[in-house]
Amino acid sequence: MAEYWESDDLKQMAERLIAAHHSHLATAKIGYLMRDKAARKNLTLDKSEQQIVRGKSAKLGGGRLEVLTGKDFTLEVPHDEWQQWSTTQREFVVDTLLSQFAGEEDDNNGGAMKFFTIPFPVAVFPDVIRRYGMPFDELRDCYRVMRDAEAKANAQITTKT
């Protein structure tokens, strides 16, 4: 069974990212959890191929967990992977998880924040793109951003050599 604990390192990084990129989460109560070892998803029946779960995010609904924890969301990352990641990789994972959290003022509740989660805008297999291209705007937008990020990374590598 996995072991969990609250992480100040994770919380501090998330709070910096919230201040910089996720101001809508300023009042959200988020639990920051480390899991001792990464969960793995089996990609084959014989378990010969697995995918590491780099993190999990969850909305704690108005049920028993929210009452017990007092939190709106939980953000979880695997400690064994965290220790191996660079600062950029850590921020990438935490920023991705925070991006799934959303909040809006609820006019029906005196303007109090109502929090919820949103799905990833793009979830696609590379082979499907090879077959069909990018027939949707969000795919093309994601491609442009990735292309620009790759060009920026390549320029940084070139200037270092």
Range of the domain at 154: 121-161
pLDDT reported for residue 8: 95
85/43 same-domain check: yes
Q: Tell me, what's the pLDDT at 22?
A: 95
Task: Report pLDDT digits (tens) over 104-128.
Answer: 988 888 888 889 999 888 888 888 8
Task: Check residue 24 and report its DSSP letter.
Answer: G
Same domain, 14 and 28: yes
C-alpha 123/C-alpha 125 separation (Å) is 7
pTM, rounded to two decimals: 0.82
The whole-angstrom separation of Cα 125 and Cα 57 is: 22
Q: Please tell me the predicted confidence (pLDDT) of residue 111.
A: 80
Q: Are residues 129 and 61 in the same domain?
A: no
Task: Give the chain's residues under pLDDT 50.
Answer: none
Tell whether 93 and 128 lie within a shared domain: no
Cα-atom radius of gyration of the chain, to the nearest Å? 18
- For residues 14 and 32, the answer to whether their CB atoms sit within 8 Å is yes
- Does residue 72 sit in helix, strand or coil? coil
Number of residues in the chain: 161
* Distance in angstroms (rounded) separating the CA atoms of residues 103 and 110: 15
Tokens of 92: 């990438």
Contact between 135 and 120 under an 8 Å Cβ cutoff? The reply is no
Measured between alpha carbons, how far is 26 from 147 in angstroms, rounded to an integer?
A: 31
Q: Are 94 and 71 in contact (CB under 8 A)?
A: no
Residues 60, 136: one domain? no
For the chain, how many structural domains are there in total? 2
What pLDDT is attached to residue 82? 96
Same domain for 131 and 105, yes or no, is no
